[in-house]
Amino acid sequence: MSANIAEGDSRGTGKDRARFYEYALGSARESRDWYYKARFVLGEELTEHRLSLMSNVIKLLLTMMPQQRGQQIREAAELYAANSEQPDWGTLLESIPLPQ
């Protein structure tokens, strides 16, 4: 489950991320099922804790998947300049120290 979430986080588009989150969702539901089946071995307190944890992970994934399907991560279009004025190239070049 965590490996699918980690791989999804590294994907470039929301659609790709959502696909790996779907895989993680399947794993979380499977884990919850296994914890339920092992309830007689694990005991009531530990089983309740793990079932609650898996239910919370499932809720988070169900929230994250639709958000990712419709979005794409892109860097904002920014101007990478200290100011918007054209530099005086002659003055700028003269201010660069020369190696000695």
Q: Rounded to an integer, what distance in angstroms lies between the CA atom of residue 17 and that of residue 5?
A: 8
Hey, what are 86's tokens?
């054209």
DSSP SS3 for 10: coil
* pLDDT digits 0-9 by tens, 42-95: 999 999 999 999 999 999 988 888 888 875 444 455 554 455 566 666 666 676
Q: Rounded to an integer, what distance in angstroms lies between the CA atom of residue 52 and that of residue 46?
A: 10
* pLDDT digits 0-9 by tens, 16-54: 888 888 999 999 999 999 999 999 999 999 999 999 999
The three-point CA angle 40-45-51 to 5° equals 80
pLDDT at position 72 is: 45
Q: Rounded to an integer, what distance in angstroms lies between the CA atom of residue 27 and that of residue 34?
A: 10
Confidence of residue 14 (pLDDT cuts 50, 70, 90): confident
